[in-house]
Amino acid sequence: MLPLYLLTSAKSKEILIELKNGESLNGELVNCDSWMNLTLKNVIQTSPNGEEFVKIPEIYIRGNHIKYLRLPEEVMDYAKEQNMINMEQRNRNQKRRGGNDQRNYNNNNNYSGRQGGSGRERGGNGGHYRNDQNRNGGGNRRYNNNNNNN
Amino acid sequence: MSQSPIAAQPSQSQPSQAKDPFSPNVEDLYLESYAFTTAAAIVGSVDRKVFVLLRDGRNLFGILRTFDQFANLVLQDVVERIYLNDEENSPTKFGETYRGVFMVRGENVVMLGELDIDKEDDHLENLKQISFEEAEKELKIVHEKTIKEEGIKGKKLLSKGLINDFVKSDLY
């Protein structure tokens, strides 16, 4: 799942944004778009030196100003669930359409097999390894959500 | 890295549901095209512990979960660590703090690399750990010094007709 999908699944959660100029904004995410433009509500804005605070009921942030975002931990689990639900729906739809475009994934080498190149129009997908599959392969330290490697 | 993401593999004709007892008919995402090849090199680091250097000089250590073609990254269990150097620019102290889930906008990343979790903390044995707040304060002083020096350098170079390219927000 792409980072921007994760952001969309964080809607109505509290997030912290740090802007490129060092200001930070703490508030509830109302909406976001594919350029990472955001609207937040009930925002507390902190100056770069960490001393001044302003309360803002609603704010719009242009995506290119963002340095990073901090999301609550639950968002990861919530997003994974959403992802699985979407995947299952997609699978069911594909089967209904006659299952000829079954995509085959080779997981033996911890690396997904590649489909012949019709995907050029699609904005590329980030590689993503599902966490709840067991992985083999000596020396690979994959972090599954089931096994917490500290 | 144990496998090269660039090598083309013919898609195998295994039905995706049949063999894996753990998968509830869910498919992995995969890389359909390598059009964005530079960011595609990141795919080998997914679900592994990585360190990320940001343009403002921050060092983040965490598990890379996802990324996209701009190298926007989603990291989990992130620890931010500040290293402080002595006069000879070798590290003596460090401070760290737990941050949680991070989504970093790709343009702010300088570099990222995979960590060997067996060896990742070895270098810390020789360093003194201080509180993160202290480390932050010291780092701020270092940054201010750098900015001042670069300002002076810029003026000197300018007087010779050269331009010093320094941006205050790029402190890496």
Report ipTM (2 d.p.).
0.73
Same domain flag for B121 and B79 = yes
For residue B80, the domain's CATH number is 2.30.30.100
> If DSSP codes are grouped into helix, strand and coil, which group holds residue A72?
coil
In the block, tokens 């709840």 appear at A132
Does residue B172 lie in a domain region?
no
Does residue B1 lie in a domain region?
no
- The answer to whether the Cβ–Cβ distance between B42 and A67 falls below 8 Å is no
Chain A residues with beta carbon closer than 8 angstroms to that of B26: 84, 87-88, 91, 130
Q: By C-alpha distance, which of A57, A104, A1 is closest to B15?
A: A104
- The answer to whether the Cβ–Cβ distance between A113 and B10 falls below 8 Å is yes
Same domain flag for B76 and B100 = yes
Same domain flag for B38 and B94 = yes
Same domain flag for B43 and B107 = yes
**Going by DSSP bridges, is the β-strand pair B91-104/B128-129 parallel, antiparallel, or unpaired?**
parallel
Confidence band (pLDDT; 50, 70, 90) for A52? confident
Total structural domains within chain B: 2
CB of B143 within 8 Å of a chain A CB? The answer is no
Integer Cα distance of B75 and B62 in angstroms: 6
Same domain flag for B52 and B104 = yes
Same domain flag for B120 and B40 = yes
Same domain flag for B121 and B99 = yes
For chains A and B, count residue pairs whose Cβ atoms are closer than 8 Å: 196
Answer for the pair B65, B74: CB distance below 8 angstroms, yes or no: yes
- The answer to whether the Cβ–Cβ distance between A141 and B48 falls below 8 Å is yes
Q: What is the pLDDT of residues A19-51, one digit of tens each?
A: 999 999 999 999 999 999 999 999 999 998 888
- CB A32: neighbour CB atoms within 10 A? 20
What's the pTM value of the predicted model, to 2 decimals? 0.69
Confidence band (pLDDT; 50, 70, 90) for B165? confident
In the block, tokens 């009930």 appear at A42
DSSP B128: E
Q: pLDDT at residue B37 above 60?
A: yes
The range of the structural domain enclosing residue B44 comes to 29-129
CB of A29 within 8 Å of a chain B CB? The answer is no
